[in-house]
A = this chain, B = another copy of it.
Amino acid sequence: IFPREVIRLVSPGTVIEPGLIKNEKNNYLVSLFIHENTAGLAFLDISTGEIGVSHFNDNEFHNRLNAEISRLHPSEILLPESIHLPFAEQYHVTSLQDWKFELGRSEQLLKTQFHVSSLDGFGLKNKPAAVAALGAILGYVKESDPQALALFTDLNFYAIEDHMVLDEATRRNLELTETILKVSEAGSLLGVMDKTRTPMGKRMIRRWVNQPLIHAGEITERLDAVEYLLENGLDRLELQKQLRSVADIERIINRVVAQHAVPRDLVALRETLEILPVILKKVSGHIPLLDRETGAMDDCSSEFMLLRESIAEDPPATLAHTGVIRPGYSSELDEIIQSTKNSRDYIANLEKVEKERTGIKTLKVGFNKVFGYYIEISNSYADQAPEEYIRKQTLVNAERFITPKLKEYETIVLNAEENIHAIENRVFKEICAELKKSSKKLLAASRFLGTLDVLASFAQAASENNYVRPKLSEDKHLMIKNGRHPVVEKTRVDISFVPNDTVFANGDNIQVITGPNMSGKSTYLRQVALIVLLAQIGSFVPADAAEIGIVDRIFTRIGAQDEIHAGQSTFMVEMIETANILHNATDKSLLILDEIGRGTSTYDGLSIAWAVLEYIHNHPRLKSRTLFATHYHELTQLPDVLPNIKNYNVAVSEVDNQVIFLHKIVPGGADRSYGIHVAQLAGIPGPVITRANEILAQLEGQSRQLELKDEASHPTQMALFTQDSPVLK
């Protein structure tokens, strides 16, 4: 019978408090359902209103599911308690009872949520796993924060196949959004490309970088927009200056809808809506990609008018204090403020009045929580206090008094304060309810501003770093002229970056790259992958020219982190990743293979590397564009027998025993590796270096070149890989 308040249940995926989530990242809640060979994945961001669902049913759905989760990097994953997913364990997993994924319940929840009688219109026909995942996630939000359901009005079904697939290792190896060692954004590709000015843009550019496109039309639309903003540089600078004043209206609107908004939020929204028409006017009609966004909105001037009229110029940040509503908006409020004006004036003037009346210069009027308002007189004048003063408190240096009249006015002021507070809260809620009606339009405006911000960011990066517009095609072509590594060229200001060409043409699809450590092999490999990726997110690229046959998937096999206690050695990890590539790559994939075979002894490793290259070269499903860096100089013999392989090495200049790495990739194989030189640079003690050189000289004197050509010249052996070879199965 006694009253109780309902408290919002909070979990990592349903947090919306501004201090607890990051502005620059989406905070995704993900739900997974797996049944036999199909899986459904639903995700949403309760702080922005984004919701999506996808469906997996191909052979390698575990791989793709894993890749998609690594893209979303959710702060919480919902799973039926009967399903155990090892790769989900690195996230915060919330197990739900299985019935919460039940199909009938899910369908009902979805129909209610989206006000439809069939789910087919959302592309969910015959995708029960997707429906189950989506139902569970909505049910979960409903339980934890029912208000928030109002945010999700539109559903986006997407197919993983519509985007480039990037597995977790590749994301990490290419350092797309954070560096490997420091896990920081600075030094990542995103760190270079992100010139966004708004929180929406910052989240969107992260999504774009994580999800390259594979349809030429979509990519071209983005490139056209970037080109326009690059060519109209002054307009872009003006726009970016205006974007700087744009607030995180995406999250603000969602707080308004969820009834968590505070006055500070509406002020920020007002400031943004004031700029919106100016921005709209400047871009409309010039950029088709943006014009499409603006179709669902107007310039939001009526919402701006409401906010201008109703919210005070500079209100307190939260509803805990009064002064939120602008005078003139609520007559009820104005009246009560007016009616207490006399009492306020009386208290405000009291010090001056009483000082004059009593002639006591040290007289002060103050306030504290225990006694309320009081009149303070220092000890030396205390005996001159007028008769009607009532002593209330004695301090070391002063006495404090009240008067009946002061207390009377105090009561009026304090009571009025309480009333004003209550009315302001109510009026504020009414304003929010009014805004809620425009939420769809406002969210479209937010999306428009975010998209513009990202496109302008791409244009700025292109302008500052001399990027060029890539040409895209559907074939297996790849031509990069004077390509640069977008991150390394920025971070190493002490040296000038050496650009390199990359060409796969005339059927060539494999480059074997030899050369010493520290010479830039790894940088070159990553640079090619990043240029392709940049092109496919719709950005200009760091090169003098680039023609790119669209890539369906980038695979990388670089470095390794040991997972020791699980019993996998570095080499095992290396081989598992290599096997994954050989099984899943296609002739449209790009393969970046760094030092395959390094994890085992020399001859074993060399044999494996050799066989892997042959396989990629010969298997009809593969023939992928491949960059293969290696320490095995013996592999430079491969082009003699495998026509589509070409040798490259990193040029080195040796003058007076001084080794200079030229960082230039040139045709042909390398012959030395300069490992001891690197050891010296690293600070290995002098005697160790001297000794190592002695030992090396001896080894080289003794060994003779391994005669692998013997094998290559056996035409009978090569015949294995032409017709009925097991490779072709």
Which residues in A have some Cβ–Cβ distance to B below 8 Å? 1-3, 89-90, 175, 179-184, 187, 347-348, 365-369, 485, 487-488, 491-492, 516-518, 522-523, 526, 558-567, 569-572, 575-576, 578-580, 582-583, 597-608, 610-612, 614-615, 631, 633, 673-676, 678-679, 681-696, 698-700, 702-703, 706-708, 710-711, 717, 720, 725-727, 729
- B706–A566 touching, CB < 8 Å: no
Report the bound CA distance from A678 to B710 in whole Å: 27
Chain B residues closer than 8 Å to A348, beta-carbon distance: 1
- A175–B565 touching, CB < 8 Å: yes
Among A175, A682, A689, A727, the most chain B Cβ lie within 10 Å of the Cβ of A682
- A611–B695 touching, CB < 8 Å: yes
Decide: A695 near B610, CB < 8 A? Known: A562-B522, A569-B517, A602-B631. Answer: yes
Chain B residues closer than 8 Å to A612, beta-carbon distance: 684, 688
Chain B residues closer than 8 Å to A183, beta-carbon distance: 90
Decide: A603 near B696, CB < 8 A? Known: A612-B688, A678-B575. Answer: yes
Q: Which of B90, B182, B522 contacts A182 (CB 8 A)?
A: B90
Q: Which of B491, B604, B695 contacts A565 (CB 8 A)?
A: B491
Q: Which residue of B lies closest to A576 (CB)?
A: B682
- B181–A561 touching, CB < 8 Å: yes
- A562–B559 touching, CB < 8 Å: yes
- A567–B488 touching, CB < 8 Å: yes
Decide: A571 near B678, CB < 8 A? Known: A2-B367, A562-B558. Answer: yes
Report the bound CA distance from A455 to B123 in whole Å: 60
Report the bound CA distance from A277 to B562 in whole Å: 48
- A615–B673 touching, CB < 8 Å: no
Q: Which residue of B lies closest to A691 (CB)?
A: B611
Report the bound CA distance from A575 to B685 in whole Å: 11
- A698–B711 touching, CB < 8 Å: yes
Report the bound CA distance from A390 to B1 in whole Å: 21
Expressed in whole angstroms, the minimum distance between the Cβ of A211 and any Cβ of chain B is 22
Q: Which of B1, B579, B684 contacts A575 (CB 8 A)?
A: B684
In addition to A516-B601, A518-B572, A572-B678, 15 A-B residue pairs with Cβ atoms within 8 Å of each other are: A1-B347, A516-B600, A517-B600, A523-B564, A559-B562, A559-B570, A571-B678, A583-B683, A602-B602, A604-B675, A607-B676, A608-B692, A611-B691, A685-B727, A698-B710
Report the bound CA distance from A727 to B684 in whole Å: 12
Q: Which of B365, B685, B702 contacts A583 (CB 8 A)?
A: B685
Expressed in whole angstroms, the minimum distance between the Cβ of A144 and any Cβ of chain B is 15
Instruction: Report 27 cross-chain contacts, Cβ distance below 8 Å, ordered by A residue.
Output: A181-B563, A485-B565, A488-B565, A522-B562, A559-B570, A561-B561, A569-B678, A572-B681, A576-B682, A579-B683, A579-B685, A580-B683, A582-B684, A600-B673, A601-B673, A603-B700, A607-B675, A607-B693, A607-B696, A608-B675, A610-B691, A611-B692, A611-B695, A615-B685, A615-B687, A686-B726, A702-B707
Chain B residues closer than 8 Å to A683, beta-carbon distance: 575-576, 579-580, 583
Among A3, A566, A582, A678, the most chain B Cβ lie within 10 Å of the Cβ of A678
Report the bound CA distance from A611 to B583 in whole Å: 42
Decide: A678 near B560, CB < 8 A? Known: A90-B184, A696-B607. Answer: no
Chain B residues closer than 8 Å to A368, beta-carbon distance: 3
Decide: A604 near B698, CB < 8 A? Known: A488-B567, A523-B564. Answer: no
Report the bound CA distance from A636 to B558 in whole Å: 30
Q: Which residue of B lies closest to A728 (CB)?
A: B687
Expressed in whole angstroms, the minimum distance between the Cβ of A411 and any Cβ of chain B is 15
Q: Which residue of B lies closest to A19 (CB)?
A: B10
Chain B residues closer than 8 Å to A526, beta-carbon distance: 564
- A579–B682 touching, CB < 8 Å: yes
Chain B residues closer than 8 Å to A717, beta-carbon distance: 694
- B684–A578 touching, CB < 8 Å: yes
Expressed in whole angstroms, the minimum distance between the Cβ of A399 and any Cβ of chain B is 19
Report the bound CA distance from A170 to B180 in whole Å: 18
Q: Which of B184, B487, B684, B711 contacts A608 (CB 8 A)?
A: B684
Report the bound CA distance from A598 to B562 in whole Å: 15
Decide: A563 near B696, CB < 8 A? Known: A612-B688, A685-B583. Answer: no
Report the bound CA distance from A563 to B173 in whole Å: 10
- A3–B367 touching, CB < 8 Å: yes
Chain B residues closer than 8 Å to A611, beta-carbon distance: 688-689, 691-692, 695
Decide: A578 near B682, CB < 8 A? Known: A566-B491, A604-B675, A675-B604. Answer: yes
Report the bound CA distance from A699 to B673 in whole Å: 21
Report the bound CA distance from A603 to B633 in whole Å: 12
Across the A-B interface, the 4 shortest Cβ-Cβ residue pairs:
A604-B675, A600-B675, A575-B682, A601-B673
Decide: A703 near B702, CB < 8 A? Known: A564-B522, A615-B687. Answer: no
- A571–B517 touching, CB < 8 Å: yes
- A699–B561 touching, CB < 8 Å: no
Decide: A187 near B685, CB < 8 A? Known: A674-B604, A678-B600. Answer: no
Report the bound CA distance from A565 to B179 in whole Å: 8
- A676–B604 touching, CB < 8 Å: yes
Chain B residues closer than 8 Å to A725, beta-carbon distance: 687
Chain B residues closer than 8 Å to A631, beta-carbon distance: 600-602
Chain B residues closer than 8 Å to A682, beta-carbon distance: 572, 575-576, 578-579
Chain B residues closer than 8 Å to A692, beta-carbon distance: 604, 607-608, 610-611
Expressed in whole angstroms, the minimum distance between the Cβ of A608 and any Cβ of chain B is 5
- A702–B696 touching, CB < 8 Å: no
Chain B residues closer than 8 Å to A561, beta-carbon distance: 180-181, 559, 561
Chain B residues closer than 8 Å to A571, beta-carbon distance: 517-518, 675, 678
Expressed in whole angstroms, the minimum distance between the Cβ of A621 and any Cβ of chain B is 11
Chain B residues closer than 8 Å to A369, beta-carbon distance: 3
Report the bound CA distance from A729 to B602 in whole Å: 36
Chain B residues closer than 8 Å to A607, beta-carbon distance: 675-676, 692-693, 695-696, 699
Chain B residues closer than 8 Å to A559, beta-carbon distance: 560-562, 570
Chain B residues closer than 8 Å to A575, beta-carbon distance: 678-679, 681-684
